[in-house]
Structure 1
Amino acid sequence: MMCETPYIYTPEIAQKDFERKANNCNRVWFAILLDDIVIGDVYPKNIDLQKGSGTLSIVLIQDCYKEKGYGTAVERTVLEYGFKELGLSVIYADVVLRNTRSQHVLEKIGFEYLHEDSFF
């Protein structure tokens, strides 16, 4: 499945973005692929193994990939990874306040609303 207007990354921009994310030891970055096309990324970040906590983040590049279940599926998978593989006991999620789609997905997979932050 392709969107009508693909999100274009030059190889140089993609490499810099990957290096920036890969060199951060407080996150584990995963690309979201659909038919060998990167449609977004998902990652536990702010990982603190001593406290057993982390924060889930996801980005789907274009709206045409949203509301198809991709975000729900990968977020569930990354939650399982965080709990089972990283040994986290609590995983938070951050979402932009106006992003009601993402809020709905987070509630659907078991997250509970804690508070709003003026940063978002």
Structure 2
Amino acid sequence: MSKVFIVGGSGQIARHLAKQLNQQGHTSLSLYRQAEQAEELKALGSTPVHGDLLTLEVGQLAELMTGCDVVVFSAGAGGKGGSEMTNAMVVLLVSNNPDNVWALGIDRMLIALAGVATA
């Protein structure tokens, strides 16, 4: 079974994913920002991991992901996080070398993004 780290763990996509993963026997860890979100994540069977994508450094995020073999990035995917959240995610993935993620033993990465481009 897989151990899945979900960035943006309190969002709609992430909550549905965590519930399904745990029903299928996988382990999920869900990154959340606000204290009141932890109990809901526990109720879904996910392990809450407190942190803010906008303030975590790459090394800190990598440390939180250690031991996971799948990472799902869904922070800001529903548009509520705005461009700041989406940009933070892209910077972490692209600008800071995604090979760092593979070095942790992570086999797969899924990125769920949504938004509106403006000129």
Give the TM-score taking structure 2 as reference length.
0.34
Of structures 1 and 2, the one scoring higher in RCO (CA 8 A, sep 6+) is: 2
Higher-Rg structure is 1
Higher helix share: 2
Give the TM-score taking structure 1 as reference length.
0.34
